[in-house]
């Protein structure tokens, strides 16, 4: 079982606040998801949950070919990497953009898992822009029931 680390949490908060102020120096509060140094680790957006047997990660990856997504597990960290390309003709010359919120480019997201998992049994499915990853918990990470005997 992983213990909560105050210093690690404070370091994470410090990095997020630094990122916020970097955005202010550039004249905007939040940068696009694919702007280097800003928001890069926040894409793709994920949900992380678990039950007694598995950890579940759901990642929003609309418009990305699932064959090009790289997924790696090292220790207790799941890493998702890939690239979102411009649809055909979107970056043509002579076009004026009035708003462009859907970024393009490479992404990399590392997700720290709450428990030890069995990497050989991980399953991933992709449907309608949603990547669902099922990560089975290792036996030592599963809850154990202890019976209490009466005297």
CATH number at residue 73: 2.60.40.790
Averages of pLDDT over each 10 residues, the chain, 151 residues: 74 81 57 45 86 95 91 93 77 71 84 93 95 94 86 85
Q: Find residue 110's DSSP bridge partners.
A: 79
What domain range is 133 assigned to? Answer: 32-87+102-140
pLDDT of residue 35: 47
pLDDT of residue 37: 40
User: How many of the other CB atoms lie within 10 Å of CB of 80?
Assistant: 22
pLDDT of residue 97: 73
Residue at 41 is within a domain: yes
pLDDT of residue 102: 75
Conformational region of residue 6, where left means phi above 0, alpha means psi within -120 to 50, and beta covers everything else: alpha
- The contacts of residue 62 (CB under 8 Å, 6+ apart) are 129
Instruction: For residue 56, give both structure tokens.
Output: 């579940």
Residue at 46 is within a domain: yes
pLDDT of residue 24: 59
Structural contact between residues 19 and 38, judged by C-beta atoms closer than 8 angstroms: yes
Residue at 12 is within a domain: no
Residue at 73 is within a domain: yes
pLDDT of residue 34: 44
Conformational region of residue 51, where left means phi above 0, alpha means psi within -120 to 50, and beta covers everything else: beta
pLDDT of residue 39: 44
pLDDT of residue 79: 94
Measured distance CA(43)–CA(100) in Å, rounded: 16
Residue at 95 is within a domain: no
Residue at 132 is within a domain: yes
Smallest CA-to-CA distance from 12 within 33, 35, 42, 34 is with: 42
Task: Give yes or no for a cis peptide into 69 (omega within 30° of 0).
Answer: no
Structural contact between residues 131 and 124, judged by C-beta atoms closer than 8 angstroms: yes
Measured distance CA(108)–CA(78) in Å, rounded: 11
Residue at 77 is within a domain: yes
State how many domains the chain has: 1
Residue at 115 is within a domain: yes
């Amino acid at each position: 079982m992983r213990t909560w680390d105050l210093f690690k949490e404070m370091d994470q908060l410090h990095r997020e606040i630094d990122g916020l102020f970097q955005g202010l120096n550039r004249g905007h509060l939040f940068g696009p998801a694919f702007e280097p140094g800003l928001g890069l680790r926040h894409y793709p957006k994920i949900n992380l949950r678990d039950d007694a047997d598995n950890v579940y990660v759901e990642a929003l990856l609309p418009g990305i070919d699932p064959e090009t997504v790289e997924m790696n597990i090292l220790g207790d960290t799941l890493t998702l990497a890939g690239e979102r390309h411009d649809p055909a003709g979107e970056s043509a010359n002579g076009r004026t953009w009035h708003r462009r919120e859907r970024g393009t480019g490479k992404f990399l997201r590392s997700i720290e898992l709450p428990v030890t998992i069995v990497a050989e049994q991980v399953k991933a499915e992709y449907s309608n822009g949603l990547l669902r990853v099922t990560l089975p918990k290792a036996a030592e990470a599963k809850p154990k029931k202890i019976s209490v005997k009466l005297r």
